[in-house]
Every structure is written in C-alpha cells, then in structure tokens.
Amino acid sequence: MQPAQTIAEPVGSLDVALGHAQRLLAAQPAVAEDQAREILLAVPGHPAALHILGEARRRLGDPAGARAILEPLAAAQPKAAGVHLALGLTLAAFGDEAAAIVALRRAVALRPDLTDAWRVLGDELTLAGDTAGADAAYAQHIRASVGDPKLMEAARALCDERLDVAERLLRDHLKRAPTDVAAIRMLAELATRLGRHRDAETLLTRCLELAPSFIGARHNLAVVLFRQSRSEEALVEIERLLAHDPRDPSYRNLLAAALSTLGEYDRSIALYEDVLAEHPNQPKAWLSYGHALKTAGRTDDAIGAYRRALALAPTLGEAYWSLANLKTYRFSVDDVAAMRTALAGGGLGPEDRLHLDYALGKALEDRGDYAASFDHYAAGAALRRKLVPYDADETSRQLERTRSAFTSEFFEARRGQGCQDPAPIFIVGLPRSGSTLIEQILSSHSAVEGTMELPEIAAIARNLGERERQAGAALYPSSLADVDAETLSQMGERFLARTRVQRKSGKPFFIDKMPNNFVHIGLIQLILPKAKIIDARRHPMGACFSAFKQHFARGQSFSYDLTDLGRYYRDYVALMEHFDKVLPGKVHRVRYETMVEDTESEVRRLLDYCGLPFEPAALRFYENDRAVRTASSEQVRQPIYRDGLDQWRRYEPWLGPLETALGPLADM
C-alpha cells in the first residue's frame, strides 16, 4: 500500500489563489465559490477559503448554506473580525436578528474600523426597536468611515452630541476639501438632528451628485424627504435603493411608510406583511403595520398587530398608547397591571415612559378613576413638554403680526388674484374639536373626497419664511404684501399640484384637515380665494383638555401644559374673530355641541356653505369605509353620541390652570 501523497502547495501560490478568490467575491461570487472549493480540495478546512466560500453562498442568495459554513468557522476563529462580520451579515439575511446583533457586536469589538459592521448593526438594532443603540451604531459607522484626523474629531463630537463643535469642524474641513462626501454626509446628519431638513436635503443631494453610488447618503435623503412629508419624492429615492437591494428590510419599511402617507394602504399593508413574514420578531415593524391597518379600518387586525408588538417588547409604551388611541379599545386588569409594572421598573426611556403614562391615563379614565387618570396624563404631558419646548409668547407675537398684516384693505386691494380653483375645503381649529367628524360627514357626500392633514400650506409659508430670512426681508406674513398676482396664483397652483397625489376618486372637491392652518387663513385667501374654510369649534374647556390628554406624534407642542393650552386657545379665538371682521362670511363655524344636539340641521348648513346639495349619506357618515388618518378614526365610524360632550367636567378639580389661562372664554 502506497503511503498517502502529501500535497506540497507553495505558500505563494496559495496566497495568490486566495487573493484572486477574494477579489472575485463582489462581482463574480459564483466564480469565487469555485475558486474556494478548489483551494479546499487542496487544503481541506483552510479558514480563509471557508470564509470566502461562506461569503460567496450569502451573496448568491443562500444564507442557510452560508450559515452552515460560517457558524463553525466563527466558533473556531473567535478573534477573526472578518469572519464574525460575514456571519453577522449572513444571519441578518437569514432573518435571525438577535444572533446577527451578537455576531456584529463581536466583529466591531475586535475591529472598530469595520464600517459595514457598524452600518448593518445599526440596521439590525433599528429592526429590533433599539433606537438609541441604532443611533449609536450609525454614528460609529460615520466615525469608522473617515480616516482624516479632523474628521475623526468631528465624528466623535457628533457621537457625543456636541453638535456645535461638530458643525465647526466639518465646515472648516469642507472649506479645504469641498468634495469629501463622507464629511458632507456627516454635516447632513448634523442638520437632520437639528431639524434643518432642507439643509440636510441640499447636502445629501450634493453628496449624490459627487458619488451616485453612495447608498448610505441616498438612504439618508429618502428619510429626509419622508420627514418633510414629501413622500412622492422619497419614493423615487427608495426605488433606487430597492434596485440596489430589493430585500433590504429597512428600505421596504420606509417604502411602506411612504405609501401609507400617500393613501396607498393596500400596497403598504402588503409590504409590511412581506417584511414581517421574513423578520417576524420586530416590534416596531408590527407597530407600523398596526397603524396602517387602523387607518384602513381593519381595527381587529390592528389590535392583533399591536398585541404582537407587546409580546415581543412588553415595555414598548407606544404599542400600549396605540391601543389606547383607538379610543374604543378597553384595557384589561392584566394590561393595567403590566403598564404599572413597566413604569415602576428601571431602564425605561422617556418615550416609552410618556406613552405608558398616556395609555394608563386612558385605561384609568375608562374605569372612572379620574384622579389617578389625570396624574398619568399630566406625567406624560410633562415628559413630552421637555422633549418639545414651546414658547407661548412667540405664538402670541406671531398671531399679532398676522392680525396686523391682514386687514380689510389688504384683501380688497388683491380681490380677484390667486388661483381661482374652488376644489379645496379646509377644516381648521384646535385639534380634538370635531374636525374629523366634519371631514367624515363631508366626505360621505358624492362630490367630496377626504384626504388627510396635508402639510402643503405650512410648507408654502415655511418656504416664504426661509427665503425672507436669507434675503433679510420682512417676516412672514408681512412679506406677502410684496408678492405679485402672478406669484400668488402660482402658489395656489403649486398647492393643487402637490396635493393631487392624495386625490384618488376624481371628485370635484377635496378636504385638507390640517387644524393648524387657521394660522394661515390669510395665505389661503390670497392664493386660493374660492376655497372653503370651516372652523371646527368646541367648548374651550373640553377642546383644551381633550388635546391635553392626547399624545400627538408631531406639530402640537402647545398641548402639553394647561396654561400654554389656555393661552393658545385665546390666541386662536382672537385670530378667528379678526378674520370674521376682515373677511365676513368667509369662514363657516361648526360648533361640536350643536352638531351633536341637532345633527341634521347642522349638516344642512354645512353643505349649504360648501355649495353642495343635501344627500342623506352625509347623515350616515359612520357607514363610510374610507381610510381615516387621525386619532378619531374609530369614533367617526360610529353614530354620534352625547356621552363625550362633558367628559372634561370629570377632571374639573385639576383644570384650574387651564380655566385661569382661558379667562372669560372658559364659560363660552
């Protein structure tokens, strides 16, 4: 018997073969696999060849095969950062997020400069609902992406939230190196954290002009556009991202969210279902899925999605609040106990804590324990107030400027100007004052389409304000005195063009239910003089307290303090009285209490104001199965009841600051 022949493979040729296989991985993974297998035939169990083989299987769409190779390899090579990175990427593709996070954390612990590891770790932590951890990982990704010492210093400042230092360092660096895309992206991230989304958009657009394949910057741009309520434009970037990686769960989640804002609920829900089928252990994804189901009217399914989120993350406050925010849902004794236990435990972040407080407030209100209920509403509001600072004096000054700018003579001098399209119907007022009920009634008419709280009027005003600040001109709205007739018409046409995506039915009229648009009634009159404007009014104490116990996702920062609320309501009423004088008959007022007491008469008045013939369907608004995107979505799918009219009186002992701030209005 001949002795086994030993393969005498020169080290040099083995290194050459491994290097060749490694270079082939990105463009030709199948060829790299063949090369790795050839090496393994010659040198069985060679770690580098196994690493390449596992990577090739992953890139070829076989995460199970890659896992079978890389898991034992990682166990045998505990200090090989590249192997743990490859395993982490494979586990992420396999849908095992928890194991992926462990592997990726091991990789970056061994080699903190692994930029891909930090990025994917951020993605996986996002899916796992660990927002703070994801933010930290993405920040480390930025830090690992740069080699320049100055940029590394800026990255550290960004990670440590020393934003002023980071901005100075980045701007100084970009003066010397204006085409450094890593620095541009970092500056865009800084602008996003400061809420300067337009600046971030400009920076990211420049970044992609210089480096069109910079996927991270494109993802950032899609998110920035989405946060500005420019979902159509965000979709363009998301489609490009998906062309690069069609199965990336973060891209698909962003696509589903964008589709929801555009009213494409069937597509959005299908996307969430697709992602959750592959990544079922993501509480935040179940939460978003629940929101889409709720809006589409699938209440039972939404409850199931929220419950699934809680099963995965028992202290996820937003899931409890989402159940409470259905308004018709009732928590069990066990639910109340679980929320109290979560609040008593340590480690809760402010967002989870405030959501739990609001949810407990609602649960205890339903049980008639009003003192404890108020305590939780107040605790949630106090936490939220710290996160969204509000200046009541500035609001008063702003609305005083508005009254001064819009006089009878001002409007008379511009009679006949603006876009003459009569399609828009604006519903304004304080939130939680019956605006969703009015929208549901009107959208049950055959000529009217309900949409959502559209951001376009505020965006037009904001753009005017930005240009004025840059030019050193008078502040909005005073600067509207210098806008010519052609520009006013163009602004009205822009509103119609930007909102067309929300109109699905071809009906001649459509509703914009953004309550804060009462601030911009003068602008609406100038650019859309034939639009209808409806003021949803409710008893001041009832309206303000209903807003106080509501956690708003964004935009109502005045609502988290009873005194601020009372002052805001007074300023709102003063402005509406001003417009009643300078634009007599322009605004139609609907009082919620009157609508409840004499529904048919009020509905007829409302339709007469809108120039619409009476239709019985407007009285059967609760049969309308359209999507409703507000906190009142479930309530307006039921007939009107009187029960909610005086709910605030149960809390009257604790509403002294509100009553004082309202002054004489408290009894109106």
Which domain, by its residues, includes 560? 392-667
Tell me if 312 is assigned to some domain.
no
Tell me if 58 is assigned to some domain.
no
Q: What is the domain-level CATH number for residue 531?
A: 3.40.50.300
How confident is residue 469, by pLDDT bands cut at 50, 70 and 90?
low
pLDDT at residue 134, as a whole number: 77
Torsional sign, CA 265, 269, 274, 279: positive
The three-class DSSP label of residue 329 is coil
pLDDT at residue 630, as a whole number: 47
The yes-or-no verdict on residue 174 having pLDDT over 50 is yes
Tell me if 408 is assigned to some domain.
yes
Tell me if 441 is assigned to some domain.
yes
The yes-or-no verdict on residue 258 having pLDDT over 90 is yes
The yes-or-no verdict on residue 395 having pLDDT over 70 is yes
> Would you state the structure tokens that stand for residue 460, as one six-digit string?
């037009």
Q: How far apart are CA 433 and CA 630, in angstroms?
A: 12
- Pick from 330, 259, 247: which is nearest to 291 by CA? 259
Q: How far apart are CA 600 and CA 204, in angstroms?
A: 53
pLDDT at residue 227, as a whole number: 87
pLDDT at residue 337, as a whole number: 96
Q: What is the pLDDT of residues 71-80, one digit of tens each?
A: 999 999 999 9
| E runs forming strands in 283-334 | none
Average pLDDT over residues 459-474: 67
Q: How far apart are CA 660 and CA 668, in angstroms?
A: 14
How confident is residue 641, by pLDDT bands cut at 50, 70 and 90?
low
The three-class DSSP label of residue 510 is strand
Average pLDDT over residues 531-542: 96
The yes-or-no verdict on residue 368 having pLDDT over 90 is yes
| pLDDT, mean over the chain | 88
In angstroms, the first-to-last Cα distance of the chain is 109
Listed range (182-196, 272-286, 593-607, 637-651) with the worst mean pLDDT: 637-651
Count the residues in the chain. 668
The yes-or-no verdict on residue 639 having pLDDT over 60 is no
Tell me if 437 is assigned to some domain.
yes
What is the Cα gyration radius of the chain?
29
Q: How far apart are CA 475 and CA 472, in angstroms?
A: 9
Torsional sign, CA 551, 552, 558, 559: negative
Phi then psi for residue 3, to 5 deg, are -65, 150
> Would you state the structure tokens that stand for residue 43, as one six-digit string?
């040198």
User: Which residue intervals of 444-519 are DSSP H helices?
Assistant: 456-471, 485-499
Please count the structural domains in the chain. 1
Alpha-carbon dihedral angle through residues 347, 351, 355, 357, given to the nearest 10 degrees: 60
pLDDT at residue 629, as a whole number: 46
- Cα angle 569, 425, 512 (rounded to 5 degrees) comes to 70
Tell me if 165 is assigned to some domain.
no
Tell me if 38 is assigned to some domain.
no
Q: What is the pLDDT of residues 18-29, one digit of tens each?
A: 888 888 887 888
The yes-or-no verdict on residue 635 having pLDDT over 70 is no
Tell me if 305 is assigned to some domain.
no
